Amino acid sequence: MTYRSAAKFYDLFGEKNDLGFYKELALQSGKNALELGVGTARVAIHLAKAGIRVVGIDNSDFMLEEARRKLAKESMEVREKVILKTGDLRNFELHKSFSFIYIPASTFDHCITVQDRNRCLTCVYKHLEDNGRFVFDVEQATLEKPLASWWIDRKKINKDEMVVRSIFTRRDFGRHTCSMDLFFDVYKNGKLTERHHEFGEVAMLSKRELTDLLEELGFEIEAIYGDFDKKPYNPDSSKIILVTKKK
């Protein structure tokens, strides 16, 4: 996703039930974490409050600006535990290793091609300590969904202003991708005052594709869940959540 000027609305629509899941695994793995696709630092700040040091990289300066704005509101103790960097999850060099690396919020499926995924996971493996843990989640594609669809949701900013988010998706089974157009319309007292458009593509990935690639690159798969409550994965799960270790 581009997430340029609309980055300021990400958290408004970004509620997820993954915080406890990632915090628990980070604490089990050690207190030295790397987040790829840190975005607005939604997860990183939560982990920092639990005493975990997090380096977060993202390729969107707009998202990182939002993350820095949020961090500025936290205590010095939390701020000191989060380091934000501009970077590409397919090609980064941090000259250090981590006991825990994670990619939340289905960010890994922005690696559209096999080459993108291979490069990303190779970088992860290089930066992961021996026996360190790598965890990520992706959306599970299902054939039952329509090829194209619209949906709309809205959130109040204050008593006078509302943000309406409209999303159009189109699936391409030939390329195994899904394209998305996101429109964020701001209304004040019923009058449109702002409009922002973002666009992106994500890969539609299968469990088999992911596990084969992970094992080929040297990761040991510890668990595969279907949701953040650690229910076992099944073909009807909405997510594929992979917990792996460096062999």
Task: Report the pLDDT value the prediction gives residue 178, as an integer from 0 to 100.
Answer: 95
Rounded Cα gap, residues 134 and 100, in angstroms = 6
**Which positions ≥6 away from 1 have C-beta within 8 Å?**
110, 180, 182, 198, 199, 200
Residue 147, CB-side half-sphere exposure with 13 Å CA sphere: 3
Average pLDDT for the chain: 96
In this prediction, residues 99-117 reach a mean pLDDT of: 97
The first and second tokens of residue 126, run together, are: 């290089």
**What CA dihedral angle connects 216, 57, 33 and 204, to 10 degrees?**
-40
List pLDDT tens digits, range 4-19. 999 999 999 988 999 9
For residue 145, name the pLDDT band (cuts at 50, 70, 90). Answer: confident
In this prediction, residues 194-206 reach a mean pLDDT of: 96
Is the pLDDT assigned to residue 172 strictly greater than 80?
Answer: yes
Is the pLDDT assigned to residue 234 strictly greater than 80?
Answer: yes
**Which positions ≥6 away from 170 have C-beta within 8 Å?**
147, 148, 178, 179
List pLDDT tens digits, range 63-83. 999 999 999 999 999 999 999
Q: Please state the φ and ψ torsions of residue 207, each to the nearest 5 degrees.
A: -55, -45
Mean pLDDT is lowest, of 122-126, 134-138, 142-146, 239-243, for 142-146
Straight-line distance from the first to the last Cα atom of the chain, in angstroms, rounded to the nearest whole number: 32
Task: Report the pLDDT value the prediction gives residue 246, as an integer from 0 to 100.
Answer: 95
In this prediction, residues 165-189 reach a mean pLDDT of: 96
For residue 52, name the pLDDT band (cuts at 50, 70, 90). Answer: very high
pTM score, whole prediction? 0.96
The first and second tokens of residue 136, run together, are: 């990520």
Mean pLDDT is lowest, of 24-33, 145-154, 177-186, 213-222, for 145-154
**What CA–CA distances, in Å, run from 34 to 83, 125, 179, 187, 223?**
10, 12, 28, 38, 20
Is the pLDDT assigned to residue 144 strictly greater than 80?
Answer: no
For residue 146, name the pLDDT band (cuts at 50, 70, 90). Answer: confident
**What CA–CA distances, in Å, run from 65 to 69, 98, 172, 198?**
6, 24, 33, 17
For residue 94, name the pLDDT band (cuts at 50, 70, 90). Answer: very high
Task: Report the pLDDT value the prediction gives residue 105, as an integer from 0 to 100.
Answer: 96
Please, where are the H alpha helices in 72-204?
Answer: 76-79, 114-127
Mean pLDDT is lowest, of 45-49, 115-119, 140-144, 173-177, for 140-144
Task: Report the pLDDT value the prediction gives residue 161, as an integer from 0 to 100.
Answer: 97
Amino acid letter at 154? R
For residue 62, name the pLDDT band (cuts at 50, 70, 90). Answer: very high
Task: Report the pLDDT value the prediction gives residue 93, as an integer from 0 to 100.
Answer: 97
Is the pLDDT assigned to residue 35 strictly greater than 90?
Answer: yes
